[in-house]
Structure 1
Amino acid sequence: MALLSTTDFPHQIVKTEGFAHKRIDLHSHTNCSDGSLSPQSLIDRAANFQIDVLAITDHDTVAGIDIAQKYIEEKKIPLKLITGIEISTAWQGFEIHIVGLNIDKENCDLQALIVKQQEAREQRAISMGEKLAKCGFSTVYADAKEMAGQGSITRAHFAKVLHQQGHVNTMQQAFDKYIGKKGSKGQRAYVKPNWCSIEEAVQAIHQAGGSAVMAHPIRYDLSAKWLRRLIVHFSEVAGDGLEVVLPQMNPEQRRKMLAYCEEYNLFSSMGSDFHYPNKWSDLGRNLTMPVGAKPVWAQWQ
């Protein structure tokens, strides 16, 4: 995948006066990380789904953004692209994802963190490949690396390869049997990641002029007590907002996330966390900002 010059699309402050009554999705992925669609195909799908505002938030990379923006301009697609990223962080033994929105992707602090994260990803992938080789799957690392191409290599690539090679019946089974964390040490090929802290991620996003949003708080398998601790910590390190709306959240979960935002003076965001076409979490699905929420884009005026 040929990348464009990093100066082709300089960072600009997004004017959000026209965001009212728009279809907005602030969390999506391309094949520059673990999504299945190219940046161009993702933009086509967003246009077909009548999305007005879309954020591309690939894991620890901004490689797809210039490609998508160039395509939007060439095809004259009426879609506002928000420059984003999803940064993996470590907190109390949990992997917590922080989304950066409306960032200057050329910012030196952000770029330095991306390099650090990519090195951690590569070392983790190598170690995971070694463990899988001991399980009898000698080519999985090489095949996962080829599948990732120039994009960020993730455990999803390993799961896809294990599934395609017939070692597991489903991708989820790859996590359950080999590469997922279950119990104190994880499964046979699980490798503990060496991610940055939440504070480092928030600081880098802020240095890049963006908003730091905690991705999918309901998915971390935390008790109510630990989730509150996480949100308190996120607020203390100057995090900006929570994803209060995801396609598969029930009304009670949305009310709870909105209550946390109100309690800790946080902004609200929403996104599909789109990775591949499916009926459960497709672009824009069930995304409506709750009444009374402070939308994260209010920061971008």
Structure 2
Amino acid sequence: MMSTTDLTNKQDFSTLRVDLHSHTRCSDGALTPPELIARAVNLQIDVLAITDHDSVDALVSAQQTIVENQLPITLINGIEISSQWQGFEIHIVGLNIIPTHNALQTLITQQQQHRENRAIAMGEKLAKCGFDNVYADAKTLAGAGSITRAHFAKVLLQRGVVSKMQAAFDKYIGKGKRAYVKPQWCSIADAVAAIHAAGGVAVMAHPIRYDLTSKWLRRLIVDFKAAAGDGLEVVLPQMNNEQRKLMLSFCQEYDLHASMGSDFHQPSRWSELGRNLTMPEHAKPIWQLWQSKALN
């Protein structure tokens, strides 16, 4: 089994299958941490980051699974922190973090309280739409994990209110819809600061998914860089070549490192661990930042 230290010191990452964005049941993923690790090993992933929403609860169990079964995979401790910027919800992935660091744990506690308050308010709005006890059912689905809008969407799907999960967002819980509740997340700067305090690097998750014009996307990246952000996710499974080129150009223009990840939540024909993840030429991979930190 390769250790994190081995990974940091390894010079040739081009031979590794790397996925730096995935989720478990500790947030809105479908698999338990051991199940996710097993799937990654079966798919011959060499390096996997688990990045649950505002949670690090999966990491101990995942690492125990690797150690106890002597699995040939390296786990990167990660998290995906929800932040707010100009009325948009922006996700900041923390990689190679110390999960127990006080600054990170303090922010997680605050974020989880915001999540709970939002979920309760969303349940109240859905009740006014004629759907009782959705919060309770969503809470049951979430279990001990972070409750998210995806859990509400699953409940509405299970009840037959909508025919697919996206329809729940389009009709009820998406921005501007009847049961939408504005989040009260931390700022980008606060997310980056907590990640850095915990020894990690901060990556803006899936920049192409925020429904921003090129002008606003540039503004977002400028503000992220000003907040000491480290990198952008430039490769996702469903990106086209033009989108990848655009993200790489932003990395080069603003001296940011490049990351890549499947944003895996559950097995499907649209998403899979490690699918279509290749670091572009001329990019500065985010792991080079880990290497330089290890040498300092």
TM-score tier, shorter chain, comes to: over 0.9
Aligned equivalent of 2:18, options 17, 24, 49: 24
- Over the matched positions of the two proteins, sequence identity in percent amounts to 67
2:173 counterpart of 1:173: no
CA distance in 2, matches of 1:268, 1:138: 44
2:69 counterpart of 1:75: yes
The alignment's TM-score, normalised by the length of structure 2, stands at 0.95
Cα contact 2:4–2:74 (8 A) shared by 1: no
The 5 Å alignment of 1:109-148 reads: 109-148=103-142
Cα contact 2:4–2:76 (8 A) shared by 1: no
2:249 counterpart of 1:259: yes
- Number of equivalences: 289
Cα contact 2:262–2:275 (8 A) shared by 1: yes
Aligned equivalent of 2:148, options 154, 159, 166: 154
Cα contact 1:16–1:300 (8 A) shared by 2: no
Aligned equivalent of 2:230, options 240, 264, 270: 240
2:272 counterpart of 1:282: yes
The alignment's TM-score, normalised by the length of structure 1, stands at 0.94
2:294 counterpart of 1:300: no
Aligned equivalent of 2:56, options 49, 59, 62: 62
Cα contact 2:78–2:93 (8 A) shared by 1: yes
2:95 counterpart of 1:101: yes
CA distance in 2, matches of 1:10, 1:282: 23
Question: 1:221 deviation in Å?
Answer: 0.3
Q: Report what 1:195 is aligned to.
A: 185
CA distance in 2, matches of 1:134, 1:254: 42
Greater per-residue helix proportion = 2
- Secondary structure of 2:248's match? helix
CA distance in 1, matches of 2:172, 2:290: 42
- Secondary structure of 1:17's match? coil
CA distance in 2, matches of 1:74, 1:45: 16
| RMSD (CA atoms) | 1.5
Structure 1: runs of 5 or more not aligned: 1-8
Question: CA 1:126–1:226 in structure 2 vs 1: closer, same or farther (change >3 Å)?
Answer: same
Q: Report what 2:294 is aligned to.
A: none
Question: 1:278 deviation in Å?
Answer: 1.2
Alpha-carbon deviations, 1:41-87, whole Å to 9, x = none?
10011001100000000000000010100001111110000000000
CA distance in 2, matches of 1:279, 1:101: 27
Question: CA 1:16–1:137 in structure 2 vs 1: closer, same or farther (change >3 Å)?
Answer: farther
Alpha-carbon deviations, 1:237-283, whole Å to 9, x = none?
11000000000111111111001000000000000000000122200
Counterpart code for 2:269: K
2:28 counterpart of 1:34: yes
Cα contact 1:35–1:276 (8 A) shared by 2: yes
2:45 counterpart of 1:51: yes
* Segments ≥4 residues shifted beyond 4 Å: 9-13
Aligned equivalent of 1:222, options 188, 208, 212: 212
Cα contact 1:84–1:102 (8 A) shared by 2: yes
Question: CA 1:251–1:90 in structure 2 vs 1: closer, same or farther (change >3 Å)?
Answer: same
Counterpart code for 2:248: L
Question: 1:16 deviation in Å?
Answer: 3.7
Question: CA 1:33–1:12 in structure 2 vs 1: closer, same or farther (change >3 Å)?
Answer: farther
Cα contact 1:11–1:105 (8 A) shared by 2: no
